[in-house]
Chains A and B, each alone.
Chain A
Amino acid sequence: NAGVTQTPKFRVLKTGQSMTLLCAQDMNHEYMYWYRQDPGMGLRLIHYSVGEGTTAKGEVPDGYNVSRLKKQNFLLGLESAAPSQTSVYFCASSYSDRTYGYTFGSGTRLTVV
């Protein structure tokens, strides 16, 4: 029962480098989300997807791109990392029925130097 798996768990990037964070879920959830968590700011939605092949912008999408080519995977890309993107990134998934809560991954701690 893996649930939501995020890779990698930790990463240090230099300013300007690119990387992709992978989120995989095995619960056949329709909806998937990427959040970032910063101290004192709660969780802020970056991008989300309501189904395979669809993506949409959240509250703080600038500097990020996403893709959902397969239902079980949701990728978050940073094309040119900036120190302001230092954060902990969480992926979550849920059924399309909004009465269900989210299932979260364990997070990726990203530091941009």
Chain B
Amino acid sequence: AQSVAQPEDQVNVAEGNPLTVKCTYSVSGNPYLFWYVQYPNRGLQFLLKYITGDNLVKGSYGFEAEFNKSQTSFHLKKPSALVSDSALYFCAVRDETNAGKSTFGDGTTLTVKP
């Protein structure tokens, strides 16, 4: 069975500082990894994905994520946080053998303070 863990319920950073939101995963095959963002009272929006290739992937709004196979991690990063980045972030894994279903982490609330 596949699983995703987001060890931090909440991450607080000051505007302009770098941010990291952590994610670890467990799958039986090759991992297809995704990050989504949810703003208040909205649905989730796709941010970025890792399928294969370069371990550093870039996505929307200046976010990037680093895939580490040995540590089974896929941490979300941004060099300089904005107040508008404050939202709920979900990591998800899509197992290539599992009918396209995604398993989501419990989510991490990111708060960026001015």
Contacts and interface: CB of A to CB of B under 8 A. Distances in A.
Interface stretch (B12-20, B62-70, B71-79, B104-112): B104-112
B45 A104 contact: yes
Interface string A17-36: 00000000000000101010
Interface residues of A, number: 26
- Counting from the closest, the 6 A-B pairs by CB-CB distance are A104-B43, A101-B46, A42-B106, A43-B104, A104-B44, A106-B43
Contacts of B41: 107
Contacts of B34: 101-102
Interface in A40-88: 40-43, 45, 48, 50, 56, 58
Nearest to B44: A104
B46 A41 contact: no
Contacts of A33: 101-102
A11 to B, nearest CB: 15
Interface of A: 4, 31, 33, 35, 40-43, 45, 48, 50, 56, 58, 90, 92, 94, 96, 98-99, 101-107
